Chains A and B, each alone.
Chain A
């Protein structure tokens, strides 16, 4: 058998291709012909996908679980030794395949989608830069390399959200995303530093091998996991740091698909799954994760019910699904979380690309109240969108069913209330997705003057591939109930430590599944009757509505509250510091020292005003004083 290590050592090629693509398309920006940048960029990502696939097979055939590839020493001072190294193991391979695979499809799709944009070359450069950063994130062999990718994807997200920089609102959204991410990043970097001080290393293998010597619930580990969690909350848009993700939809739709659905936002889940050994030692943190995940899943799903912008619905749906992934992590079912990351990457990317196709066809219109009847005009888009909707709603045998069912059954094992709430969220998901589907594709055409048309092949082919993945992706991890062997979970076993818990009995599980399917069917029928048979169109902006609807419609006023609590006071504080402290206290304090001297001079100057008789008087008075002094002393 051939030694696999020399081949795996070539894994730096995976991020190198997109980096090369970035440099070429970025530097030769002005000189590339139309479409060429897109082709170069796509080819680069496809190449790195190919390398990832071959790495996958090489690693599997080698029988090794993890290989570290060190490129060079990045920081080596004193006791700190941080190499620039990649870790190739099952978890990172999974993520690499998702990033490059879905990424490649989205790149290809973008060739069609961004065809008419004048800055298409910059777009592809930034997309490639994103892919590069994301690969660093998932491939890094230590927390600091992970952090490079972590901040790198944040930067690319910033750039791409604000891609159409003429619009101030987009710029604001971009800045908001970056700043909120940075809040999380601060927690993350502090966590990394604490890891360093605790384990004297930030390399995954060394940290995790030493973690065994800590007992569960040790305060240091809890603090570390909480700090890392702050980072994950920011990046994966969980409560309370989720408000940036819906605004991030300002970017071009392929960006939303790649960054804000399939890959970057799942980085937090990846990071926690990667640190599963630490998290297993911190039950408190796991409970916090459950709470956050569940709250996010429900609140975002509720908000999704009332959104009218096609991308906003999908954005809240993403937030909600990320909440499910968090829930899975909190339950200790890390591989279930990563599995949902995988299937979610397929169907959510598909949904966004489908939405992009619709928006493209509608000439930039994003309001679902103005769409309708697109089923006949765009059959391919409709078909793919339908598969994705079925997948996200958790209808068997689509991929979402398997991943979501896994999470739900874990929740059931944990706590029945948890299960009911999670199931409620799933039902909400089903409702708002079918509402979207029916409003967009069914009924009558509601916008006069628009001439929807099917998108070109370069866009529909990726849709079809993703559609196939959404349909069949679930078969990667068929549970024992259906005679499968949970291959995906087993595959990750070597990297991701799952909290052992007893399996549900098959009869219970079957009961749960049937029950939830029944409810889902009811929801779909209800949605059909509401939006297709009765053809209800959501209220126009500004129309009055019941209190709770209004609350949901206004997204629970999260943005308004944050503006009032953080943004406004910050500006106020800035003004206060500048006008009241800097210019009224500190600077005058310094000036006043100068002024004392000046005033003293002004005072003494009065003695010298040239009045002869005063001089004479002073002279006499002085002599007198002098005499008196002599007499007394």
Chain B
């Protein structure tokens, strides 16, 4: 356990921050600009995981396990959320024969 922590600490913290920001941004852009709802879900996962990465990195640097515990919680919630999201995707596919998010535009005035 100590090795892992020290191994993490070999790489400077800034690199983790930059990496997770990059991951987050990629995910965000994907959410914003992709039309395929499956791709959007995947991008959402990416954003989750960028946050997880950051949490882990900070947790290691601060020698505080709370952050890593949170990561587990997040992974569980994300898994549940993916289950719901994918079922929506399935329903959508059944109803509108497509996974294009722009077809879901009936929610308006």
Q: Which residues of B contact A620 (CB under 8 A)?
A: 28, 32
Q: Is B35 an interface residue (CB 8 A)?
A: yes
Q: Which residues of A contact B31 (CB under 8 A)?
A: 616
Task: Mark B11-37 against chain A: 1 for CB-CB distance below 8 A, else 0.
Answer: 000000000000000001001110100
Q: Is A608 an interface residue (CB 8 A)?
A: yes
Cα-based distance from A609 to B108 in the complex (angstroms): 5
Task: Mark A598-627 against chain B: 1 for CB-CB distance below 8 A, else 0.
Answer: 000000010011111100110010000000
Task: For the complex formed, measure the closest distance between the CB of A630 and the CB atoms of chain B, giving whole angstroms.
Answer: 18
Interface size for chain A: under 10, 10 to 19, 20 to 34, or 35 or more residues?
A: 10 to 19
Q: Which residues of A contact B105 (CB under 8 A)?
A: 609-612
Task: Mark A453-478 against chain B: 1 for CB-CB distance below 8 A, else 0.
Answer: 00000000000000000000000000
Q: Is B104 an interface residue (CB 8 A)?
A: yes
Q: Which residues of B contact A605 (CB under 8 A)?
A: 109
Q: Is B106 an interface residue (CB 8 A)?
A: yes
Q: Is B102 an interface residue (CB 8 A)?
A: yes
A613-B108 in contact (CB<8A): no
Cα-based distance from A492 to B33 in the complex (angstroms): 109
Cα-based distance from A467 to B104 in the complex (angstroms): 105
B35-A613 in contact (CB<8A): yes
Nearest A residue (CB) for B37: A612
Contacting residue for A613 out of B28, B33, B107, CB 8 A: B33
Q: Which residues of B contact A610 (CB under 8 A)?
A: 104-108
Task: For the complex formed, measure the closest distance between the CB of A612 and the CB atoms of chain B, giving whole angstroms.
Answer: 5
Cα-based distance from A620 to B43 in the complex (angstroms): 14
Q: Is B101 an interface residue (CB 8 A)?
A: yes
Cα-based distance from A9 to B55 in the complex (angstroms): 118
Nearest A residue (CB) for B107: A610
Cα-based distance from A112 to B18 in the complex (angstroms): 121
Cα-based distance from A620 to B25 in the complex (angstroms): 11
Q: Which residues of B contact A609 (CB under 8 A)?
A: 105, 108
Cα-based distance from A617 to B35 in the complex (angstroms): 13
B101-A612 in contact (CB<8A): yes
Cα-based distance from A609 to B32 in the complex (angstroms): 17
A617-B107 in contact (CB<8A): no
Q: Which residues of B contact A611 (CB under 8 A)?
A: 102, 105
Interface residues of A (CB under 8 A from B): 605, 608-613, 616-617, 620
Starting from the known contacts A608-B108, A608-B109, 17 additional A-B residue pairs (CB-CB under 8 Å) come to: A605-B109, A609-B105, A609-B108, A610-B104, A610-B107, A610-B108, A611-B102, A611-B105, A612-B102, A613-B32, A613-B33, A613-B35, A613-B101, A616-B31, A616-B32, A620-B28, A620-B32
CB-defined A-B contacts under 8 Å, sample of 20: A608-B108, A608-B109, A609-B105, A609-B108, A610-B104, A610-B105, A610-B107, A610-B108, A611-B102, A612-B102, A612-B104, A612-B105, A613-B32, A613-B35, A613-B101, A613-B102, A616-B31, A616-B32, A620-B28, A620-B32
